[in-house]
Amino acid sequence: MSGAMAKKKDETPPTPKLEIVKPPPASASAGKAAPGSSRASADKRVTAEEMAKKQREISVSEFFAKNRHLLGFDNPRKALLTAVKEAVDNSLDACEEAKILPEVEVKIEVAKNGGPPPAPSQAERFVVTVTDNGPGIVPEQIAKIFAKLLYGSKFHRLRMSRGQQGIGISAAGLYGQLTTGKPVKVISRTSEKKPAWYVEIQIDTAKNEPRILSKKQLETWDRPHGTQVSIELEGRYQKGRTSVDEYLEQTSVANPHAGFVYVTPEGQRVEFKRTMHDLPHSPREIKPHPYGIELGVLLKMMQDTKSHWLSGFLCGDFSRVSPKVAAEICQAAGLDPRSKPRSIHGDEAEKLYKAIQATKIMNPPTDCLSPIGEKAILAGLYKQIKGDFYTAVTRSPAVYRGNPFVIEVGLAFGTGQAAMAESAVEQEQAVPVAEGEEDEKSETQLSRVMRFANRVPLLYQPGACAVTKAVVETSWRNYGLSQSRGALPQGPLVIFVHMASVWVPFTSESKEAIADYDEIRKEIRLALNEAGRRLSSFVRRRERAQNEYKRRNIFEAYIEEVADACKRLKKGKLDAEKLKKQLQAMAHRLTGGEKTDELVNGKKEEPAVESTIIVTPEGPQGAVPAAGPESPVASPKSEPPKPEPKAKAVKPTMKGKGK
């Protein structure tokens, strides 16, 4: 920490020169070849030395300023979402690491640019403010965390977290700076006993270094500890798919231990309440698993190891390699367990690599992962989605390229009893349908897929994602749903898929879709199958009952018609009511009698399957989340937050600092 302080001092010249290195004038570079005519320089050969003059390092910040789409800032609408997302991800990570139940407030306001602010749907500039109750950031680190790309604590460890590279929040700040010229404003406080700091920062894009515009202590701040970041940026606010609203809803589903308050640009306050009152168990860092290592990496590890013996190297530098397994590997590779790791090259190394792949090794430890858990998924879905049936499956950990991962699937099915009652009312008031008009039933609605990676919702590029592919290739017809070829299943179904891993393979830096590894897709499919089987028994049972019920309903409606027609045929000389009663009695008998009543009214649901909730008119049954204490919100008492939760930061090894 003192080091960081010291560093800070070097870096705080109040006005760092924004040194824009101009390319040397063309005449200068062409001087040697054609002294007379600099105009013709384009035609002349350029020497390596001349070219060398132009070759210089590119700052990451500069690179991303020009390639902002790589980080999810391609258009104003997406930029607004990405900014919120990065800030919220950081808040949740920090709270969890500090063992605090997160309370996050997201506020989006239309920026006041002098004059009356435009309507949110028309506005082009917004201020995004995200406030958490996390551990806070020590004042010295604030600038780097928010205004230096590739700075963070998460890149160099094999442990599960939302953020991975330390790009996100500073990129959001950079985007705001590029589009509005306004600095990022941060307030942070690490404990009740200490003051809150207010810092305004910008990024020096050429150097990838923060530039502090203002830094002061605040008299008061309403939170005992936590961080607030405020970014003004160009954006567009729209509801619907891929909106901030949807992102927060899904985040709340996947993080039932977190509470969210969302203040919309219209000034509406939406609350997503906490339903789980235990923190997810905190993930542990792990060593790489032998299966995930490529030959080159293996060679490098053998050079770097501190072990003198091969067997020691295998046991010490990898996870899940016991002395016995190490011996097996060595034997299979035909190598002496006591050979020096540094002396293994070429063919031997290749043999070793093959031997590792061929040896049965236990899966990597999974305490580096923090799956949401079946109970919490159920709680999240049950809280946020109206349905009649909920189930959740957490697979046991699996491995792709040596990275352990866990797939979790949740299903919410049905329209909810309340919704059913509503639609019944609607039906009564239904307008008669004219010829050629369709009775618009949403029977063919496609199910909705919610994708998550390390508890972060993925909203873009569903088509490129392994999750979507796995959902589509699962045959939902086996589970009682209809599905067209190559499409999502139909029906009132929400499919929740979560991948927890120390390293989630995204298809791009903006983290929108999970790459399609066979192992991952297979795990998702297996989880979907398990959840699907549970769903199917529910669907089939209810369908059977509803069919009988529907039959009886149909008969009841038709009985009216038939009896009335008979009465008219008989010129009124017929007791239509008696006839109706007779026919109704038969209908009741023919459509399963009392048994249907029970099934339809849900009195006799079969005993609940594990990790499943079934909603009946009498209320939900099964693994219903307990109402729980109303607000065990992270009290200030809960252990003094450690300073520098994020500042553990090892400097990224990537070269990126401008000179």
Partner 1 sequence: MSRTVEDRLVGLADVVTSAAAKKKDPEIQIPVRALSNVEFNPRKRIIEMKDATTARTFFNLGMAKKFMQTMLVADALAELQRADCTTSLREIYYRTKHTLKESSENTFDAQDESDPIIEDLEVTLAALREELNVAAEGRGSIVGNVVLVDDGDAIDCSKAGKSGHTVPSIVEEPGIRIKKVSADFVLLVEKATQFNRLSEDKFWKRHNCVLLTGNGQPPRGVRRLCRRIHDEWKKPVYVLVDNDPWGYYIYSVVKQGSINLAFESERMAMPDAKFLGLSSTDPEKHKLPRNVGIKLNDKDIARAKELLEYPWFQAKAWQKEIRHMLASGLKYELDALANKDFRYLTTTYLPRKLKDKDWLD
Residues that bind partner 1 (CB under 8 A): 427-428, 430-433, 435-436, 439, 551, 554-555, 557-558, 560-563, 565-570, 574, 579, 582-583, 585-587, 590
Residue written as token pair 């939760």: 645
Nearer to partner 1, 367 or 560 (CB): 560
Q: How far is the CB of 434 from partner 1 (least distance, A)?
A: 9
d(CA 474, CA 483): 10
Q: How far is the CB of 420 from partner 1 (least distance, A)?
A: 15
226-234/125-131 β-pairing: antiparallel
Amino acid in the structure at residue 435? E
Q: How far is the CB of 544 from partner 1 (least distance, A)?
A: 13
Residues 131, 286 contacting (CB under 8 angstroms): no
Q: How far is the CB of 571 from partner 1 (least distance, A)?
A: 8
The string of DSSP codes covering 507-524 is: SSTT--SB---HHHHHHH
Nearer to partner 1, 21 or 585 (CB): 585
Q: How far is the CB of 560 from partner 1 (least distance, A)?
A: 6
Nearest to 126 by CA among 238, 251, 248, 221: 238
d(CA 559, CA 576): 10
Q: How far is the CB of 543 from partner 1 (least distance, A)?
A: 14
Residue/partner pairs of 4-12 with CB below 8 Å, 24 or more apart: 4/140, 4/141, 4/647, 5/140, 8/140, 8/143, 11/209, 11/210, 12/212
Residue written as token pair 């929740």: 496
Nearer to partner 1, 438 or 606 (CB): 438
Q: How far is the CB of 479 from partner 1 (least distance, A)?
A: 24
Residues 161, 500 contacting (CB under 8 angstroms): no
Q: How far is the CB of 598 from partner 1 (least distance, A)?
A: 21
List of residues 6+ apart from 635 with CB closer than 8 A: none
Reported as type and span, the H/E element at residue 223 is: none
Please work out, in degrees rounded to the nearest 5, the angle formed at the alpha carbon of residue 449 by the alpha carbons of 443 and 451.
Answer: 175
Nearer to partner 1, 107 or 552 (CB): 552
Nearer to partner 1, 427 or 444 (CB): 427
Nearer to partner 1, 358 or 569 (CB): 569
Q: How far is the CB of 439 from partner 1 (least distance, A)?
A: 6
Nearest to 337 by CA among 355, 359, 313, 311: 311
Q: How far is the CB of 444 from partner 1 (least distance, A)?
A: 17
Nearer to partner 1, 216 or 578 (CB): 578
Residues 509, 496 contacting (CB under 8 angstroms): no
Nearer to partner 1, 39 or 568 (CB): 568
Q: How far is the CB of 582 from partner 1 (least distance, A)?
A: 4
Residues 549, 596 contacting (CB under 8 angstroms): yes
User: Which sign, positive or negative, has the C-alpha torsion 136, 141, 147, 153?
Assistant: negative
Nearer to partner 1, 429 or 653 (CB): 429
- How many angstroms separate the first and last alpha carbons of the chain? 24
Residue written as token pair 């048994």: 595
Q: How far is the CB of 541 from partner 1 (least distance, A)?
A: 19
Q: Assign residue 465 a region: left if phi > 0, alpha if psi is -120 to 50, beta otherwise?
A: beta
Q: How far is the CB of 490 from partner 1 (least distance, A)?
A: 21
Nearer to partner 1, 48 or 434 (CB): 434
Nearer to partner 1, 14 or 436 (CB): 436
Nearest to 109 by CA among 295, 268, 327, 321: 268
Amino acid in the structure at residue 15? T
Nearer to partner 1, 433 or 654 (CB): 433
Nearer to partner 1, 1 or 566 (CB): 566
Nearest to 358 by CA among 387, 325, 329, 390: 329
Residues 488, 494 contacting (CB under 8 angstroms): no
d(CA 242, CA 423): 28
Q: What is the dihedral of CA 245, 246, 248, 250, to 10 degrees?
A: 160
